[in-house]
Amino acid sequence: MATKHYLFPTDYMADPAVHVFNGKIYIYPSHDWDAGECEDDDGGHFQMKDYHVLTLADPDQGLAEDCGVIFDVEDVPWAEKQLWDSDVVEKNGKYYNIFSGKGYDGVFRLGVAVADKPEGPFIPQPYPIRGSFSIDPCVLKDDDGSIYTYFGGLWGGQLQWWQPLAPGFTPVIGKHGDENGLTDMGSAPTKQDELFAHPDTPALPSLVVKMSDDVLQFAEAPRPVVIVGDDGQPLKASDPHRFFEASWVFKRDGKYYFTYSTGDSHLICYAVGDNPYGPFKYEGVILTPVVGWTTHHSIVAYQGKWYLFHHDSVPSGAKTWLRSLKVCELKWDANGKIKTIEGLD
């Protein structure tokens, strides 16, 4: 059984993106607060309005320290509200925070904020990344210095607005509750109806894109991140292990590990590939369901160990919009598989 502990008991933080910069652990979370909004499938109760950065000296037992606000939604000219997940990457001594926010038109896009040091402050660019959409960016700096952003999330993350189903599969449009054995994909672009997929439809994938040299724009069109099963075929929309949101990618022993949340089945899963674009073969469950609807994480190596950072809603009494950061050691078995961690332990 993995021993977990909370990292920041004085406030509600979630969606941790964790990196080691200059030999020190930095945590870039979203910042929960109780906005008094009603719960809905589009995440209207998640009204995060600023970002902090935390530092951590001892992931085995220590508490995180708050370096303060690195920027606020009022600092982002194009974003109205809902600063959701973000991630940070370093290049040539600069630090780039790629974040998701909702514009005044109700559409989620990705933006970039730049700093001279990992603890910020970060200065947001005046416009979102051209051609960006959806949520939950994760940034991978590969061994050759190339930088890739993985992103996307269903339902409130609006990925279903921008990505068509596989050829030959037509989405079914209807009112919420009329599933009739279909798989709910979230609201339609009209916001008046729901989109549904037949159970055997290939799941909507997340996306990956190489960044420009200045890390401010996409250098290419985003590509689908395909997760395949043992049969070599993409996971289906009805598969409880299919992608929903919360991409996180890391490398180990020359392999690329694509890890993600399954959303409504409340798992953190992983798949492995040979290059940053995939395809990635599904390998197993990292974390079983926790208290709270969402599950979101990052994985990092530090001083010879691997750690899983995530969140749950135990301290808030199961209020899913008030989450708390946790950490535990991540271990591999003799066959090189990640050992599953029980979320409720």
Tens of pLDDT, residues 154-177: 999 999 999 999 999 999 888 655
Look at residue 193 in the predicted model and tell me its pLDDT. Answer: 87
Look at residue 177 in the predicted model and tell me its pLDDT. Answer: 54
Look at residue 270 in the predicted model and tell me its pLDDT. Answer: 98
Of the CA atoms within 13 Å of residue 180, those in its CB half-sphere come to 9
Rounded Cα distance between 140 and 17, Å, is: 11
Look at residue 176 in the predicted model and tell me its pLDDT. Answer: 56
What would the pLDDT profile of 227-246 be if each residue is shown by its tens digit? Answer: 999 999 999 999 999 999 99
Rounded Cα distance between 150 and 299, Å, is: 15
Q: Which residues pair with 108 in a beta bridge?
A: 102
Look at residue 169 in the predicted model and tell me its pLDDT. Answer: 93
CA distances from 159 to 73, 79, 207 (A): 22, 18, 10
Residue pointed to by tokens 């935390």: 54
Strands 65-72 and 50-56: antiparallel
Would you state the structure tokens that stand for residue 104, as one six-digit string?
A: 């005044």
| Catalytic residue numbers, as ranges | 15, 245
Look at residue 174 in the predicted model and tell me its pLDDT. Answer: 82
Look at residue 190 in the predicted model and tell me its pLDDT. Answer: 83
String of b and e for 116-148 (b: at least 16 CB within 10 Å)?
Answer: eebbbebebbeebbeebbbbbbbbbbeeeeebb
Contact, 107 vs 128, CB < 8 A?
A: no
Rounded Cα distance between 156 and 134, Å, is: 9
CB within 8 A of 62, min separation 6: which ones?
56
SS3 156: helix
Would you state the structure tokens that stand for residue 213, as one six-digit string?
A: 């040299």
Would you state the structure tokens that stand for residue 301, as one six-digit string?
A: 């190596």
* pLDDT beneath 70: ranges in the chain: 1, 175-179
